[in-house]
Amino acid sequence: MKQPSADAACKVSTRPISKLLKSLEGVSVVTTTYNEANYVKPFTERVRAALTGIPHEIIIVDDSSPDGTYDLAVRYADKAIKKVREGQTKGLLVGIESAKYPIVVTLDIDLENPPELIPTLIQEFLSRDCGVLVACRTLIPRFSERLSSKLIGRDIGARDVYSNFRIYSKNCVVGAKLRLGETFGAELLLVTKERGCKICEYLYDPPPRRKEPRVGGTIRANLRVLYVLAKLKIAMMRGYGKPKR
């Protein structure tokens, strides 16, 4: 059955929430920031609108942005965490570990991951008994990301390796000791896989990418992603990501 696009999900989210969602204790929403001041207010507004009727909290983990992002996060989020600049992967883990609810949604603050899709993703996560559900883009823009997903996506369990639009069971990652440095969130999938958590996928049509992506321009971004691919591939060849018995 064809899954709804992001636009369709926006329409679905305006309907009364399902019994499955009403049964939730609550949901924690985590995002990381570095110089994202322009996105803090619209991001929090759209997340709260998407989760109307569902208990939730918004956690923003900021890597000591010099543009005032943290001050705005204090104002608009339920919890703002300021830390030294260590990258997106560590920031996501810090946010997940600070979450008060057992189900955690992660997504980018720049709204390339449509918050309106969150209720649909949570329903999929719950109904399929996932440890983590990855919202995989039907169109992956960078060739380096497409190559990474082709080379290691099947082994990891998600065709969109660098999508951080995910629903986690908090227990699948809490307490993890990151080994690979910055991996744009990909190492967290190895952690969940190593712990024996079920990784699920959900395909969606992404909105256009912003003009100045977080990881840099085309050449720089592709080089950084390919470097991460090499780290992931070597780590997996050494057994990282294999479920422990």
DSSP for 46-114, written as a single string: HHHHHTTTS-EEEEEEE---TTSHHHHHHHHSSEEEE-----HHHHHHHHHHT-SSSEEEE--TTSSS-
Q: What pLDDT is stored for residue 21 in this prediction?
A: 78
Neighbours of 166 (CB within 10 A): 30
CA nearest neighbour of 119 among 197, 42, 207, 48 = 48
What confidence tier does 38 reach under pLDDT thresholds 50, 70, 90?
very high
- Fold designation for 6-237: Spore Coat Polysaccharide Biosynthesis Protein SpsA; Chain A (3.90.550)
pLDDT surpasses 50 at 7? no
Q: At what angle do helices 37-50 and 69-76 cross, to 10 degrees?
A: 20
Dist CA 144 CA 126 (whole Å): 32
Q: What is the pLDDT of residue 218?
A: 80
pLDDT band of 245, cuts 50, 70, 90: low
H or E stretch covering 143: helix 143-156
Kindly list the strands in the beta sheet with 199-204, ordered across the sheet, starting from the edge strand earlier in the chain: 79-82, 56-62, 27-33, 103-106, 166-169, 132-137, 199-204
List for the chain the helix, strand, coil content (%; round to 5). Answer: 40, 15, 45
Mean of per-residue pLDDT scores for the chain:
90
The model's confidence at residue 23, banded by pLDDT at 50, 70 and 90, is confident
Whether the pLDDT of residue 221 is over 50: the answer is yes
Please report the pLDDT score of residue 1 as a whole number: 37
Domain ranges of the chain: 6-237
Mean pLDDT confidence for 180-203: 97
Give this prediction's pTM.
0.89
pLDDT tens profile 116-144: 999 999 999 999 999 999 999 999 988 99
Q: Does the pLDDT value for residue 74 go beyond 60?
A: yes
Is residue 15's pLDDT more than 80? no
> Measured between alpha carbons, how far is 168 from 192 in angstroms, rounded to an integer?
9
187 vs 167: CA distance, rounded Å: 15
CA–CA distance, 154 with 146 (Å, rounded to integer): 12
SS3 (DSSP) at 24? coil
How does residue 210 score in pLDDT terms, banded at 50, 70 and 90?
low
Token representation of residue 64: 């000591």
Report which secondary-structure segment, H or E, holds 19: helix 19-22
Work out the average pLDDT over 165-191: 97
For 78-122, the pLDDT digits (tens) are: 999 999 999 999 999 999 999 999 999 999 999 999 999 999 999
pLDDT interval class at 207 (50, 70, 90)? confident
